[in-house]
Amino acid sequence: MHPFELSRPLRLVQITDTHFCERPGDILSTRVDTDQSLRSVLDTLHYREHGCDDVIVTGDLAQDPVEGSYHRLRHALNGYPFRFQCLPGNHDDADLLGAALPGGNVDCPKVLVRHDWLLILLDSSVPNEPWGWLADTELALLEETLSRHPAPHAMLFLHHHPVPVGSPWIDRIALRNADALFEVVARHAGKVRAIVFGHVHQEFEAERAGVRLIGTPATCIQFAPATERLVVDDLPPAYRWLELHADGRVDTAVHYLDEQALRATG
């Protein structure tokens, strides 16, 4: 038996849609300060997630994609004892993020190998567009990594949702070439266990051809499900934990911050 199987599953945390501003501030005039809400989430992780192997940050890291936002965000993340692995969303400038954000415990890798698992971080952002698209280079990287690497299980991360979540306004800005993604995934049936995303600012789970499709609420504001137009929900900031087992099983749940955690940094 692999020694890893004897000890414990891989433990990940996903945080998403931090929407960090150039200066501390809110988004959509909600009075939710995105600096403060992220700090509440990170403090909660520090308290609850000691055994976390990696924190995956799935896009919309910045509200304003300028150097200052990324520098400030890196500084905020540097204060916590986690490895942060980041990918861009529609609010980000992918090139700028790649240049300005990494440093210390913050990085933007494409592929991570963790014991029996491949973690693949895809860039679905399109400059100046809210919807998503996986460029040929991203699809080729996915295909090649899944083909060549011997790890038996894979989890994919990207910003945009690859299936409708049930709100017309947000489904118009989904991943627009999801079929191309699912074609690659189908060629590696049984290996890709889950596709994990942000962007929808709400909890979501579905399944397609044996692959779990998992959406996660933001570290700032949430969107109400099943709405014609954008409606801000009254749910608090949240994160998702994921346990990836050696046999390919995935356990996961969303943790919403409670009043006490919000007050502690409020």
Write down the least CB distance from residue 16 to Fe ion, Å: 8
Tokens at 210, concatenated: 């044996």
Write down the least CB distance from residue 63 to Fe ion, Å: 9
Choice between 58 and 145, CB closer to Fe ion: 58
CA distance 13 to 83: 10
Tokens at 139, concatenated: 């699809």
17 near Fe ion (CB under 5 A)? yes
60 near Fe ion (CB under 5 A)? yes
What phi and psi, each to the nearest 5 degrees, are found at residue 189? -60, 135
Write down the least CB distance from residue 202 to Fe ion, Å: 11
Choice between 9 and 132, CB closer to Fe ion: 132
CA distance 193 to 191: 6
| Total number of residues that touch Fe ion (CB under 5 A) | 2
Stretch that binds Fe ion, among 17-25, 46-54, 112-120, 157-165 (CB under 5 A): 17-25
Choice between 48 and 176, CB closer to Fe ion: 176
Write down the least CB distance from residue 19 to Fe ion, Å: 6
Choice between 66 and 139, CB closer to Fe ion: 66
53 near Fe ion (CB under 5 A)? no
CA distance 262 to 127: 34
Contacts of 63 (CB under 8 A, 6+ apart): 19, 20, 21, 25, 27, 34, 69, 91
| Torsion, Cα of 187, 189, 193, 198 (10° steps) | 40
Choice between 54 and 60, CB closer to Fe ion: 60
- Residue 259's Cβ-count burial label (10 Å; 0-12, 13-18, 19+) is exposed
Stretch that binds Fe ion, among 59-67, 72-80, 162-170, 258-266 (CB under 5 A): 59-67
Stretch that binds Fe ion, among 53-61, 72-80, 109-117, 228-236 (CB under 5 A): 53-61
CA distance 162 to 151: 24
Write down the least CB distance from residue 159 to Fe ion, Å: 8
Write down the least CB distance from residue 149 to Fe ion, Å: 30
What percentage of the chain's residues is helix, strand, coil (to nearest 5)? 25, 25, 45
Binding site for Fe ion (CB under 5 A): 17, 60
